[in-house]
Structure 1
Amino acid sequence: MDHVLCGLAANPALPPESVDRLIEIADAEVAWRLADRPDLARAQALALFARAPECGVQLAYAGRLTAADVDPVARPDVALALLDESAGAPHWARLLAADADPAHREKLAACPGLPADVVQTLAADPQVCVVAELALWPTSGVIAGLARHPHAEVRRSAAANEATPPDVLAALVTGHGLPPVLRCAVCDQEATPFVHDRNCARPDCTLPPGASCDGSHESAVHDIRWAALRNPATPAEAVAGFADHPSMLLRRALAARPDLPAPVYRGLAADPLPGVRADVAANPAIDAAATRTLAGDRDPDVRRGLAHNPRLALDIIARLADSVRIGPTLLPRIAAATPDEVLLLARSPSAAVRMLLARRRDLPPEIRDRLAEDPDAKVVRSVASHPGLTETRLRAMTDRHGARVLVAVAANPDAGPALLEHLARHDPPVPKALREIAVHPDATPGALLACLKDRRARPVAAGRAALPPAVVVELLDDPDPSVAEAAAANPSLPRAAVEGLLFGA
């Protein structure tokens, strides 16, 4: 791969004649980048397709090709991309439904708006992968039939399809009213009984770890049930009985559903496995009594899951904030807090609670500024990237707390050029802050030059238009290919350098 040419292909300031030259010399990598250019003219798109037909799918999805530009026999992949965008010729679907390559027929099965006769042809395809793909999509008139297919892979797809009728989904969960499964992926490949080694070292093996079949296709039937339990269209009354199923995966799928009776949630909240309890703890459908019970769970993952429940009482959040590591995220309940609740949270004696509140980016100015003056560095770090903070206040934060808040201050959209340059000169350097500065729209040339000293910030800074052109040219020879590519994509790259690279001037 020529990283410099790849970078040039993405350079937004490239003149049309340079794009034309790149098309003439493009290899596959350069062609893929050229195909992404928003300014690619139609004539250029056609020339690029002729030069590198392998980028035709990309051009088709970008709307750069029409049905008149594509031979579906020579380039079935491009024809399928156009059909997937509802932009192909009507007769292509019938042509491709008879294609010898099952991968092409499988892709066709996922295309929208297929004629009814093509759907019927694909539903009867001898390759299971084709029929299973068809069963994933809301294809009118065939889902109920596909749910009765003898192969488990097809039934699993139907079980995952939200357009499958509820009574059919109920039958897929229970097995009642359907003929038995006759084949599965395991017995298609192995003599039964067979249990797939979880540490299988065969490079060509496609069976999932632990897949098994003793003639009853047990792991495949389990997968059908798992898909149906996760499907919101499956009736609650058909799935509630799985609350005490031996499979942890089925119980976890059940625990995330929003439509179960309260007794089922109470049973799941007492499950012996923390993963199940954590999933039900995060479920907004559980009642207040269940949330208070789970708040006392000894497992931190359960309490962490509960913290993300949007229907928590604020006093429970206060308990959780001091007992579990929630991570740098805005909790749904805090995001939905009313103005009175926001004020209550801002006055909390718990720094952890104030920190969680500080992650909101729509705080009233008086609350935002109060948190910016908080004595706890964790709170200040959490609020430091909030828009609306003045540069004076941001600089005061860094003066008080130093490197502990530097990264968040550097990420603030209102951090001005002078402040960013000040942060970039911090001694010792703060690598994560340099990475934030490298992407900041107000970073000055001086700040970006400092960012070049960090290995991970360097490729980002190399692509910034504010970097001095002479430096950009020097970076074309950087030993790190990602830096050289970013420099070539920099719109500040001088025209003479571009012409030298493309035309040998």
Structure 2
Amino acid sequence: MNRVHVLCGLAANPALPSELIDRLIDIADAGLAGDLAGRTDLSRAQASALAARGEEAAVQLAYSAGLRADDVDPVKQPRAALALLDEGAGRAEWARLFASDPDVVHREKLAACPGLPADVVETLAADPDPRVVTELALWTTADVITRLAEHPHAEVRRAVAANQATPSAVLGMLITGEGLAPARQCLVCDREQPPFVHDPHCPRRDCGLRAGAACDGSHRSTVHEIQQTALRNPATPTAAVLGFADHRSALLRTELAARPDLPPHVAGRLADDPVPGVRATVAGNPAIDDALMRALATDQGADVRRSLAHNPRVPLDVLVGLAGVVRIGPTLLPRIAAASPAEVVELAASPNPAVRTLVATRRDLPAEIRDALAADPDAKVVKSVAPHPGLSEARLRAMVDRHGVQVVARVAANPDASPALLEDLSRHQPPVKKAFREIARHRHATPPALLACLTDDRAGPLAARHPALPPHIIVDLLGDEEGSVAEAAAANPSLPLSVMAALVP
């Protein structure tokens, strides 16, 4: 028996009695403490005792509201105290303590916390380490962010460009460079002598520079990132971004193409961009008009047409035309989800099976349409509608009889699949591995069906955790050579209490 896996499974078992939780806390190492910290039924005393076993667990409990400020000593467990500050449950004196902490990691973490006292924010804004100021710039409010836009370090300015609290006028200056003195530093020239271009295959393991990092004295790559980040920020004024439609950087043109305030004439130019990724981004933008969508439907780029199909405002007739030529997969498209009752009727009656497949992904179809699609002669349509709730057992069995392995897994995923049907699907020949995974997590799965699932590597842990599994089988699985199966069995709420007690030292 792999005792480590078994104890970790027990730690997550929802049926574990409180007295056994106490015993596990007493012996918990860092890994076991982490599993115990994920429980939702810990008493305050248990949470406090568990936090004392290690700071990783204390941090986890701070984020899950299992700890309070009275339970934490910020000197002994600084990361737990910072987690409470991050949750808005810490104390102001802690913030002042960490603002002058010699550990930059602690100051950086503090800078991301909400609701900091004004004096702490001022201290962090003047921090000598740009990592701290950068983190503050990502999260702070408009009154502070305006000053940080003039920070001499370009990395801080990049963070200002990402903050949606940054005033639009400031974002306009950041993206154009007008009205701001040039930055004096960046992460590249902090570490290397300009001119420097980071090797994309850099062999240095201690190198923290981003891919594409470069500086010739103008902080080139970081300025590009500032522009890219500001283009992504919806608060950046429209007038400041339009000039990027002709920028040599495809990345910047792509960010522009995604903006919800994209004017029609700029969208039209980007729709003719030589880079397919730019055109695909335009095609997925709900801000473009019907005429441009119709033009993009004829684009030869597969990604462009696929992106257009996912546009929530694509005209239905355009989407119908794309069906069959665009690979969608078992995905409910936004326009299909928003289709009116009359449009649903129209789509379900389409002579094109690809169109019927699209509407079959909905899970709120009227019964008559659902049943008609379940009897469709096309396997892809049937596969798409198979998990729809409300289908009778007779219809589900008929699907399998007609289409076999193509639909078995999706039928097994139907929430109304009966215990008898799931047993039959688990014995299907040839076996369908995906069906085992669906059966193993199904609420109607029976012991015989779950036993079949245990033969599959990926379904085995799911089946071992299923409460319908017989207790003696669960006990046997505790000794399984596969650790994930043994752990799942230990987490099974149907594991006998006497066995649980015997497993805990």
Counterpart in the other structure of 1:282 = 284
Structure 2 residue 197 is the aligned partner of structure 1 residue 214: no
In structure 2, which of residues 340, 343, 362 is the aligned counterpart of residue 341 of structure 1? 343
Q: 2:271 is matched by which residue type in structure 1?
A: A
In structure 2, which of residues 228, 250, 253 is the aligned counterpart of residue 251 of structure 1? 253
Counterpart in the other structure of 1:268 = 270
In structure 1, which of residues 295, 300, 303 is the aligned counterpart of residue 302 of structure 2? 300
Contact 1:138 1:162 in 2 (8 A): no
Counterpart in the other structure of 1:241 = 243
- Cα deviation code 1:290-338 (max 9, x no counterpart): 1111100011111101101111122211221121211221111111111
Counterpart in the other structure of 1:129 = 131
Q: 1:102 is matched by which residue type in structure 2?
A: V
In structure 2, which of residues 27, 30, 36 is the aligned counterpart of residue 28 of structure 1? 30
Q: Secondary structure at the match of 1:142?
A: helix
Counterpart in the other structure of 1:146 = 148
Q: 1:451 is matched by which residue type in structure 2?
A: C
Matches for 1:438-453 after TM superposition, within 5 Å: 438-453=440-455
Q: 1:123 is matched by which residue type in structure 2?
A: A
Counterpart in the other structure of 1:170 = 172
Counterpart in the other structure of 1:456 = 458
Structure 2 residue 364 is the aligned partner of structure 1 residue 362: yes
- Cα deviation code 1:133-172 (max 9, x no counterpart): 0001142421001011111110011001110000000000
Task: State the TM-score, normalized to the length of structure 2.
Answer: 0.98
Q: 2:392 is matched by which residue type in structure 1?
A: T
Q: 1:211 is matched by which residue type in structure 2?
A: A
Structure 2 residue 504 is the aligned partner of structure 1 residue 502: yes
* Deviation (angstroms), 1:209: 1.6
Q: 1:254 is matched by which residue type in structure 2?
A: L
Contact 2:30 2:53 in 1 (8 A): no
Counterpart in the other structure of 1:490 = 492
**Aligned counterparts of 2:241 and 2:402: Cα–Cα separation in 1:** 56
- Cα deviation code 1:96-138 (max 9, x no counterpart): 1011111111111111110111101000001111100000114
Counterpart in the other structure of 2:431 = 429
- Cα deviation code 1:188-232 (max 9, x no counterpart): 111110000111121111111221100011100000000000000
**Aligned counterparts of 1:466 and 1:180: Cα–Cα separation in 2:** 67
- Cα deviation code 1:412-469 (max 9, x no counterpart): 1111111111111111210000100001111111111110011100011011111111
Counterpart in the other structure of 1:189 = 191
Larger mean CA deviation between 165-174 and 61-70 belongs to 61-70
**Aligned counterparts of 2:81 and 2:402: Cα–Cα separation in 1:** 61
* Deviation (angstroms), 1:275: 0.3
Contact 1:150 1:183 in 2 (8 A): yes
**Aligned counterparts of 2:503 and 2:63: Cα–Cα separation in 1:** 30
Contact 1:60 1:81 in 2 (8 A): yes
Structure 2 residue 314 is the aligned partner of structure 1 residue 312: yes
- Cα deviation code 1:20-61 (max 9, x no counterpart): 111111111110011111111111112112233431111111
Q: Secondary structure at the match of 1:91?
A: helix
Larger mean CA deviation between 4-13 and 311-320 belongs to 311-320
Counterpart in the other structure of 2:110 = 108
**Aligned counterparts of 2:363 and 2:373: Cα–Cα separation in 1:** 12
Q: Secondary structure at the match of 1:2?
A: helix
Q: Secondary structure at the match of 2:185?
A: coil
Counterpart in the other structure of 1:411 = 413
In structure 2, which of residues 304, 310, 332 is the aligned counterpart of residue 330 of structure 1? 332
Counterpart in the other structure of 1:471 = 473
Counterpart in the other structure of 2:90 = 88
Contact 2:141 2:166 in 1 (8 A): no
Contact 2:112 2:139 in 1 (8 A): yes
With CA pairs under 8 Å and 6+ residues apart, which has the higher RCO, 1 or 2?
A: 2
In structure 2, which of residues 67, 70, 73 is the aligned counterpart of residue 71 of structure 1? 73
- Cα deviation code 1:373-422 (max 9, x no counterpart): 11000000000001111111111111111111111111011111111111
Counterpart in the other structure of 1:16 = 18
| Alignment RMSD | 1.0
Counterpart in the other structure of 1:396 = 398
Deviating 4+ runs (over 6 angstroms):
none
Contact 2:161 2:229 in 1 (8 A): yes
Structure 2 residue 373 is the aligned partner of structure 1 residue 382: no
Contact 2:262 2:288 in 1 (8 A): no
**Aligned counterparts of 1:282 and 1:236: Cα–Cα separation in 2:** 19
Contact 2:142 2:166 in 1 (8 A): no
Contact 1:410 1:436 in 2 (8 A): yes
Task: State the TM-score, normalized to the length of structure 1.
Answer: 0.98
Counterpart in the other structure of 1:42 = 44
**Aligned counterparts of 2:198 and 2:118: Cα–Cα separation in 1:** 39
Identity of aligned residues (%): 67
**Aligned counterparts of 2:187 and 2:286: Cα–Cα separation in 1:** 37
How many corresponding residue pairs?
503
**Aligned counterparts of 1:14 and 1:217: Cα–Cα separation in 2:** 57
Ranges in structure 2 where 5+ consecutive residues have no aligned partner: none
Contact 1:255 1:268 in 2 (8 A): yes
Q: Secondary structure at the match of 2:52?
A: helix
Ranges in structure 1 where 5+ consecutive residues have no aligned partner: none
**Aligned counterparts of 1:260 and 1:401: Cα–Cα separation in 2:** 47
Larger mean CA deviation between 324-333 and 451-460 belongs to 324-333
Larger mean CA deviation between 377-386 and 324-333 belongs to 324-333
Q: Secondary structure at the match of 2:92?
A: coil
- Cα deviation code 1:2-31 (max 9, x no counterpart): 111100100111111111111111111110
Q: 2:403 is matched by which residue type in structure 1?
A: H
**Aligned counterparts of 1:497 and 1:25: Cα–Cα separation in 2:** 18
Counterpart in the other structure of 2:202 = 200
Q: Secondary structure at the match of 2:143?
A: coil
**Aligned counterparts of 1:392 and 1:217: Cα–Cα separation in 2:** 68
Contact 2:107 2:132 in 1 (8 A): yes
- Cα deviation code 1:54-109 (max 9, x no counterpart): 31111111112111111111111111111111111221111110111111111111
Q: Secondary structure at the match of 1:266?
A: helix
* Deviation (angstroms), 1:365: 1.1
Contact 1:171 1:178 in 2 (8 A): yes
